[in-house]
Amino acid sequence: MVSKKLEKALNKQINAEFWSAYLYLSMSAHFANTGLPGVANWFKIQFQEEQEHALKIMNYLISKGNRVELDPLAEVTTSWKSPLTAYEDTLKHEREVTILINNLVALARSENDFATENMLQWFVNEQVEEEETAQGLIDNLKLIGDNGFGLYTIDKELGQRVFVSINASVE
């Protein structure tokens, strides 16, 4: 069983992951409405990934005999000036999530909870990838600037992204 203190912190992270999913779903809807289906697709995949992240932690807590507590989701932003501003918000958000994950790892270590620390290492690695991907998209969007063909090309590329479930490691 995970300690009550760590259980509470992991529940907070579950809710943060669901909020992240909600944010990315909002981004997806916004860009679908502005004629950028590829950007919308990219954010819809992010939405799906964040849901799985929450489920991964939920399943872990349940497997350890702990309680899962879901809170209401806080409001999210619903419009962005451009894909660039959305990806800048994404990077900022993912950096905040990285801090949350690092704090969870530190808490697990302080409690000598090696199983939880081990489970959280997956998230540590995931956050490196999330930040790198968002930064790469920001760099590309800055490079193309106001070039419509460049945005069209990136939108087509982002439309090719497909959801890959982590289900094998969720259960």
pLDDT tens by residue, 112-146: 999 999 999 999 999 999 999 999 999 999 999 99
Supply the DSSP symbol for 82: S
Overall number of domains in the chain:
1
Q: Which domain holds residue 73?
A: 4-164
Taking the C-alpha atoms of residue 53 and residue 2, their distance in angstroms, rounded to an integer, is 18
Long-range contacts for 96-100 (Cβ within 8 Å, ≥24 apart)?
Answer: 97/16, 97/20, 97/127, 97/130, 98/127, 98/130, 98/131, 100/12, 100/13, 100/16
User: Considering the domain boundaries, does residue 34 fall inside one?
Assistant: yes
User: Considering the domain boundaries, does residue 93 fall inside one?
Assistant: yes
The pair of structure tokens assigned to 74 is: 């806080």
CATH of the domain at 159: 1.20.1260.10
64-119: per-residue pLDDT in tens? Answer: 999 999 999 999 999 999 999 999 999 999 999 999 999 999 999 999 999 999 99
User: Considering the domain boundaries, does residue 170 fall inside one?
Assistant: no
- The H or E element that residue 60 is part of is helix 37-63
User: Considering the domain boundaries, does residue 38 fall inside one?
Assistant: yes
User: Considering the domain boundaries, does residue 169 fall inside one?
Assistant: no
